[in-house]
Structure 1
Amino acid sequence: MSGDADEVIVVGAGVIGLTTAVTLAERGRRVRVWTRDAPAETTSAVAGALWWPYRIEPEAEVGAWSLASLRVYEKLAAEPERTGVRMADGVQADTDLDELGSWAGEVAGLRRAAPEEVPGPYRTGLAARLPLIDMPVHLGWLEDRLAATGGTVERRTLASFAEADAPVVVNCTGLGARSLTSDDGLRPVRGQLVLVENPGIEEWFTAADPASSATTYFFPQPGRLILGGTAEDGDERTAPDEETAAAIVARCARIRPEIAGARIIGHRVGLRPSRAGGVRIAAEPLPGGGRLVHNYGHGGAGVTVAWGCARAAADLA
């Protein structure tokens, strides 16, 4: 281990890694990000991405992390072209307020939707105006914000955290933590998306059954409409599946028929880093006297909790 006490190496450049790096840098630390993949090539770049605590634990912590992130996104939405964040209206079908945690009471405007507001075959749901994040733009903005503090992003592949030459190392490697930490609780949850030309849809929609591997959602993003999706536990395939894509389009078209004729412009697959027991934010010593801080296991809600988890990890660093 070398370097001064203010040096930190953050390993991983998805939304968790970059948000943690920015948080540390703006607290006065000298931050380097080491990453196997460029930010635009990470799982985060594939995300939809709507703010909503989805498939994430531990329940006792998720509410506070999510709300901390929500407050940041609400501010960033003032400059959507620059930050990639905007506030958008939509409906979460088949969900009731009574099913949610106490965090729901802190989300302005979240309410039970009238039956006529819920599209498709659904009759119940929630209406809300939530942050919708254009991830390629947002990841670029996070890189720029880090660079403005003097932080850097370097392409490096590690076999061990002991290779990082800084007093503090922060593990934001997502699914990569399986091998780096020997964490058998980590598993991939495969998500497949279809990108189509937007036929004029302005509101987002989700109907995500936690017990099913097939979900239905669409998110209007600049230049495209993102259709989803899947939540295939333990599936490590990264190539799009043609039958799955057709099923996604069909499910979304049952909600908005005009989607059936939308031209397909791309396919995306990402492996969400789910973990038994939920997110791991903890610290332990490194050989040679350094400190290793973990921040991984966010499943399908990394964007939703990114800023709250970044602050919790930075507190340990």
Structure 2
Amino acid sequence: MTADVIVVGGGVIGLTTALELTRRGHRVRVRSRDAARDTTSAVAGALWWPYRIEPEALAGDWALETLAVYEELATAPEETGVRMVAGLHGGERLSGLGPWARRLTGAREVPEGLRVTLPLIDMPVHLAWLQERLVRSGGVLERGTVQDFAEAAALAPVVVNCTGLGARALVPDLGVRPVRGQLVVVENPGIEEWFTRADPASSTTTYFFPQPDGLVLGGTAEVDEYGTGADPRTAEEIVARCARVRPEIAGARVTGHRVGLRPSRDAGVRLEAGTLPGGGRLVHNYGHGGAGVTVAWGCARAAAALVG
């Protein structure tokens, strides 16, 4: 297929953007260095929530637009990987959140924090669903790298850069930095609701998400850390923090460890259009930090609008 748009990057941002472009009639190729199951997106805990993302005003709008899509996808959770699950943001208050929070329906303040039902996404299933829908819509998936935008411009007249952390070298954009997140997966001892307690200024967080393959415990937010191996002591600390909230977690059998590098950007999300070598169109859509899943559809639609 001769494409009129090539999307570079095959995580949740790249796949969602590519799918949105096909829905608008574009012939799209996605080139990704990694298989979707090996991207940072695949290891995300994946609760919808605008976490560690700027600019706040735009991120809130993108997040709410994405929320509406996930609410619809949650009607077929086995197919899409999206479920609506109740839970508690420990210590949170609506007054401490951005304007977007006032547009949440069903959020209720309780002494312990903020109770709300939100999308919780099983990322391997959701990424597979995005790929299947993309191919069904005429899109093409291919493995490979792009060394520079001149190479990409030879493949299609429009390039959409969804490379996440890879944008640091590709653009290059030295404001793109990793925020390392480590998770532990345990056999679920019967917990049906999610829980979070996060301080954006801290390198540690406490959360657990009931996913189909087990209870996902977290986590860390280590800026400028590139290591992707699981640290045993960190894993023990994660389990201990979660067990202080739900003691039954302490005895749960550990079934796996996950580490991902969130693609943060000092100046916030970059979503803008420019010019390729030779005069083609270049659209950037990267720097989503810990909220790529949360803003995926809002950013995809904004990027598609820039493509034209």
TM bucket, shorter chain: over 0.9
For residue 28 of structure 1, what is the amino acid of its counterpart?
G
State the 4+ residue runs in structure 1 displaced beyond 2 angstroms.
Answer: none
Contact 2:57 2:99 in 1 (8 A): no
Partner SS state of residue 215, structure 2: strand
2:121 to 133, 142, 165: 133
Aligned-residue offset at 1:162: 1.4
- Matched with 1:149 is 137
Quick one: distance in 2 between partners of 1:147 and 1:237?
Answer: 33
Contact 2:63 2:298 in 1 (8 A): yes
1:63 to 51, 60, 65: 60
Partner SS state of residue 198, structure 1: coil
- Matched with 1:193 is 183
Alignment partner of 1:270 is 2:260:
yes
- Matched with 2:302 is 312
- Matched with 1:224 is 214
Aligned-residue offset at 1:160: 0.6
Quick one: distance in 2 between partners of 1:152 and 1:85?
Answer: 24
**Structure 1 residues 156-175: aligned runs within 5 Å:** 156-164=144-152, 165-175=155-165
Quick one: distance in 1 between partners of 2:230 and 2:32?
Answer: 24
> Structure 2: which 5+ runs fail to align?
none
Equivalent pairs counted in the alignment come to 305
For residue 216 of structure 1, what is the amino acid of its counterpart?
T
Q: Deviations over 1:174-203 (max 9, x none)?
A: 000000011011100000000010000000
Aligned-residue offset at 1:223: 2.5
For residue 192 of structure 1, what is the amino acid of its counterpart?
Q
RMSD: 1.1
- Matched with 1:119 is none
Quick one: distance in 1 between partners of 2:49 and 2:295?
Answer: 9
1:177 to 167, 175, 180: 167
**Structure 1 residues 189-268: aligned runs within 5 Å:** 189-268=179-258
Alignment partner of 1:47 is 2:41:
no
Q: Deviations over 1:140-197 (max 9, x none)?
A: 0000010111101100111112112101000000000000011011100000000010
Quick one: distance in 2 between partners of 1:286 and 1:269?
Answer: 34
Aligned-residue offset at 1:316: 0.6
Q: Deviations over 1:111-152 (max 9, x none)?
A: 102x3xxxxxxxx31000000000000000000010111101
Partner SS state of residue 129, structure 1: strand
For residue 188 of structure 2, what is the amino acid of its counterpart?
N
Quick one: distance in 1 between partners of 2:22 and 2:209?
Answer: 32
Quick one: distance in 1 between partners of 2:113 and 2:139?
Answer: 43
Quick one: distance in 2 between partners of 1:153 and 1:241?
Answer: 34
Aligned-residue offset at 1:231: 0.2
Quick one: distance in 1 between partners of 2:258 and 2:208?
Answer: 14
- Matched with 1:118 is none
For residue 193 of structure 2, what is the amino acid of its counterpart?
E
**Structure 1 residues 30-41: aligned runs within 5 Å:** 30-41=27-38
For residue 201 of structure 2, what is the amino acid of its counterpart?
A
Quick one: distance in 2 between partners of 1:282 and 1:104?
Answer: 25
Quick one: distance in 2 between partners of 1:223 and 1:12?
Answer: 26
Alignment partner of 1:75 is 2:72:
yes
For residue 55 of structure 2, what is the amino acid of its counterpart?
P
Partner SS state of residue 200, structure 1: coil
Quick one: distance in 1 between partners of 2:89 and 2:103?
Answer: 17
Partner SS state of residue 119, structure 2: strand
**Percent identity between the two aligned chains:** 69
For residue 83 of structure 2, what is the amino acid of its counterpart?
R
TM-score w.r.t. the length of structure 1 is 0.95
Partner SS state of residue 205, structure 1: strand
Quick one: distance in 1 between partners of 2:214 and 2:98?
Answer: 32
Q: Deviations over 1:47-76 (max 9, x none)?
A: 001000001000120111000000000000
Alignment partner of 1:86 is 2:83:
yes
- Matched with 1:120 is none
Quick one: distance in 1 between partners of 2:37 and 2:71?
Answer: 23
Partner SS state of residue 19, structure 1: helix
Aligned-residue offset at 1:266: 0.4
Contact 2:89 2:195 in 1 (8 A): yes
Aligned-residue offset at 1:100: 1.0
